[in-house]
Structure 1
């Protein structure tokens, strides 16, 4: 099943795939307590794929109870690190065996190109493996005391972790959240987006097959204002990890304050600047990267390079090159491995993107390409790659996160002006800069108000480096050993020692 597939193969597989539609609670697949369901729709065709169990507060309460019982029993929290490692590696093996199916589920659910989904699967599997291998390599500390005492610093799991994940990278974001939380010994309740629940429910089947103890991992499909809110307000959830909009992130922090002061880790919105200096190397390659930085995944990317800042001396030539590359990145059938862009996730987001485009035109930005809906598949939700030039920091499209294939181009004359434009944002998730001047690279990297800076690349990195933002882009970090630290608690043990006999 893992052989390279062509367009016809993917279409055939899509006709054969079966969907799990029930919640996974207490190691069983069950309907929602109230019997409610919601439709998950293929945005490339408008077809209803399945009706999914719509969980609410009653289901959340049951799931939290199972998670707490599992934690207290120690089935996972006190399981030998080597055994936890084996089970997580087994899960990664099963994900590898079913990676085509998992990729297909994400493509059908949210419209992303299947080639992109396969890349996500590689990232998700790598994340589970990385965290599994980390389990028996994280040590506590011995404090530097005198002979009269022994000071130990232990790392313990937090308890029950609720992970609320977005729809744009459904399974990869899931892995980023649950990987370190499980590795640290916590019980995890996953609330997938109602726009993309299918791969999470398939993952639950693989967790069950891998032999995880009951209650250690559960999946609660449903809406944010029902299932998500209930988890955030629960007095028995110890940690809430969220990726999504800044507005929802703020609301979740309020819920934490209204309940038990649970830890809240947020990865929220972005309006990332991508700065191109005139001394950059290979202008065409940089332009290709700049186009991909915004049009990959239909622009539905938290770190999308949506603000392109170009030094004015090369701006005209550079924008022409970006336009040429944008022309090659048109949306197509998500099941075609050759499609660079797919469908917009749902009608709400589709209309939102088109509204922003209209607003850009009304506010005086120069529409250079795109700006309209296209129809590679009848009934689908597709938007052409769109480029606005002459954008200012007062325009809405230059300040607000659109989450679609819309690029806003700014010009600048000096390094200071570039920094002012880049940092003039509520967000600080990612930033990029292109230059051959190492002194400039170091100066600008240090002064950019961003959780991550990509130099002469966009979106580079692997599991060894943390991912997250500053300002209203959030406060947590996914990936690397730093994420393991977030899902564990420090405990100090101070042992008084009897004085040595003399």
Structure 2
């Protein structure tokens, strides 16, 4: 979101010293081979925070070499699960100890609310580490009954060297959504954080070394998708790529994986999630949930409202949106590219005939701030109803029947999430079973939990983060068949 609804200022936050701006390869912070750096920008002001090492293909090669050696010859995949657990628990404790500094880094680098980062995102990232640390010594195989003359053992082994490519909107959470299960499985890895938000990832690398994670297990390459990201996706010595970001880039990663070594790929991509509000829903609560959208892929940006409460909800949304304080200095849009993209979609909405109920303009003399924007009279074929905008823009649409709501809710190339608001259990069950999306929230929204798998249908990608499903992404299944006593094979 580009606003905060309590009007409080967080200008008391002490801007942290920027300690880590180099690549992290094989346990050391190093300059890029080319010597290039790039600017990371404070979205509150548009000013440069620091210059960060710009990694490219040569640096990725070094990082992959370190990760491959750590996997093939190092201790991490061979440690008892209880020892990996111990180290990961220490890592989580260090993240907690430095939560204030980490949250402040994401505030100046990504426009994240400091209070949210300090009390929610960074502590939850540490809990993700602990969750998967607890799984590290519970990766079991099984013995299967085959033909009488054979013993068949099913083993689970780490998949190898993993490339993680992460987005800018939740730098801490998504870093550990990917790194934690891969560490627990015994993998080694190369992480490319978003070029907009490199600072906390580099700090996490520093803490990993302090925790005792062996050199080469976790490597960080800061840089751009077209160079560093592409090199990871196509690298012949990377066994898996896990990516969160746009559908367009997801396609490129799949192509690169297919034309290199057919590496495994998991993708969490864009969304255009419907929030379907039925006549019996509480209007106040519905308005609050509808206003939770913004720079998050599961945002309920298509709000379908049953005709009986449509007018009441529009009034309530207008009232609440106007009460929000626009341009809070600790909650801007992340960069100028995204800022311009959001404004472009708002202009599209106007040209296509949607009614601008409120907002729609930039605000403030500096930084990347946009008013919360609500369109009514939106039709399903309008660009603002089809494309993922990734900003504070809501499209309101009226419906009559449950069948219509299901059909229109599914009328999208995406399938990441959906929300349903109703007090009727039959309606809730029918719609939740009918909407083709990976996560369905009933009378709530953004109700994430580390034990709940998260991922999409259709062009929102495949594979699941969080839960034990995520651990499976980083494991290979091996069958071992042994002849037994009196076997004709002996």
Q: What residue number does 1:352 align with?
A: 341
Look up the match of 1:165: 166
Q: Deviations over 1:425-479 (max 9, x none)?
A: 0000000101111111111111101011001101113111100001000001100
Unaligned runs of at least 5 residues, structure 2: 1-6
Aligned to 1:252: 253
TM-score of the superposition, structure 2-length normalised?
0.96
Indicate if the aligned counterparts of 1:39 and 1:50 stay in contact, CA closer than 8 A.
Answer: yes
Q: 1:285 to 1:416 in 2, by over 3 A?
A: same
Q: Does 1:430 align with 2:431?
A: no
Q: Give the 3-state SS of the residue equivalent to 2:305 in structure 1.
A: strand
TM-score by length of 1: 0.93
The number of residue pairs the alignment matches comes to 481
The reply to whether residue 484 of structure 1 matches residue 471 of structure 2 is: yes
What is aligned with 2:3?
none
Q: CA deviation at 1:171?
A: 1.2
Do the aligned residues in 1 keep the contact of 2:439 with 2:454 (CA within 8 Å)?
yes
The superposition leaves residues 322-370 of structure 1 with CA deviations (integer Å, 9 ceiling, x where unpaired) of 22222233334344xxxxxx11111111011011101101111011110
* Residue 361 of structure 1: aligned partner: 350
**TM-fit CA distance, 1:10:** 5.7
Give deviations 1:366-398, integer Å, cap 9, x for gaps: 1111000111xx421100100001100111101
The answer for the alignment partner of 2:485 in structure 1 is: 498
Q: Is the 8 A contact 1:20 1:201 kept in 2?
A: yes
CA distance in 2, matches of 1:330, 1:161: 42
Task: Name the residue aligned to 1:77.
Answer: 77
2-side partners of 1:386 and 1:466: how far apart? 31
For 1:7 and 1:454, the matched residues in 2 are separated by 29
Following superposition, the deviation at residue 12 of structure 1 comes to 4.8
Partner Cα distance (2:482, 2:431) in 1: 48
> How far apart are the structure 2 equivalents of 1:398 and 1:39?
34
Unaligned runs of 5+ residues in structure 1 are: 1-5, 336-341
Partner in structure 1 of residue 214 of structure 2 = 213
Conserved? CA contact 1:107–1:334, under 8 Å? no
In structure 2, the partner of 1:97 is 97
- Residue number in structure 2 paired with 1:447: 434
Distance 1:325 1:441, change over 3 A: same
Q: Which residue of 1 aligns with 2:191?
A: 190
Partner of 1:129: 130
When the two chains are superposed, the root-mean-square deviation of aligned CA atoms in Å is 1.6
What SS does structure 1 have at the residue aligned with 2:460? coil
Report the Cα distance in structure 2 between the residues aligned to 1:489 and 1:433, rounded to whole angstroms: 37
What's the secondary structure of 2:289's corresponding residue? helix
Alpha-carbon separation, structure 1, partners of 2:407 and 2:378: 15
Aligned residue runs from structure 1 range 27-176, under 5 A: 27-118=27-118, 119-145=120-146, 147-176=148-177
Retained in 2: the 8 A contact 1:112–1:334? no
1:418 aligned onto 2:412: no
Equivalences for residues 337-348 of structure 1 within 5 A? 342-348=331-337
Distance, in Å, in 2 between the alignment partners of 1:324 and 1:103 is 31
How far, CA to CA, are the matches of 1:309 and 1:9 in structure 2? 35
CA deviation after TM superposition for structure 1 residue 61, in Å? 0.4
Match of 1:241?
242
**Alpha-carbon distance in structure 1 between the residues aligned to 2:138 and 2:84:** 13
1:391 has 2:392 as partner: no
